[in-house]
Amino acid sequence: MSDPDYAPLPVSPDTDHSEENERYHTFVNLALALSAVTGIELVLVYLPLNSIFITTVLIALSVFKFIAVIAWFMHLIYDKLLLTLVFGAGLAIATGTVIALMLVMSRSYVDFDAITAF
Partner 1 sequence: MSDTASASHDEHHNLIVDNKKLLMWLFLGSDCMFFGTLISTHLIYRKLYPEAYDPLTVFSLELTSFSTFILLMSSFLMALAVSAMHKGQIKSFRRNVIGVIFFGLIFLACQVYEFAHFVHEGLTLSTTTFGSTFFVMTGTHGVHVAIGIFWLICMYFYSHTGKMDVHESAVDVEVAGLYWHFVDIVWIIIFTAVYLIEYI
For 5, half-sphere exposure in the C-beta direction (CA atoms, 13 angstrom radius) is 0
Question: What does the alpha-carbon distance between residue 98 and residue 61 come to, in Å, rounded to a whole number?
Answer: 19
* Beta strands in the chain, from DSSP E residues, in sequence order: none
Kindly state the smallest distance separating residue 104's Cβ from partner 1, in Å.
9
Check binding of 51 to partner 1 (CB under 8 A). yes
- Subset of 22-41 contacting partner 1 (CB under 8 A): 23-24, 27-28, 30-31, 34-35, 38, 41
The one-character DSSP state at 47 is: S
Kindly state the smallest distance separating residue 34's Cβ from partner 1, in Å.
5
Check binding of 71 to partner 1 (CB under 8 A). no
Conformation bin of residue 75: beta by default, left when phi > 0, alpha when psi is -120 to 50: left
What phi and psi, each to the nearest 5 degrees, are found at residue 82?
-55, -40
The footprint of partner 1 (CB under 8 A) covers: 4-11, 15, 17, 20, 23-24, 27-28, 30-31, 34-35, 38, 41-42, 45-46, 51, 54-55, 58-59, 61-62, 65-66, 69-70, 72-75, 79-80, 82-83, 86-91, 93-95, 97-98, 101-102, 105-107, 110, 112
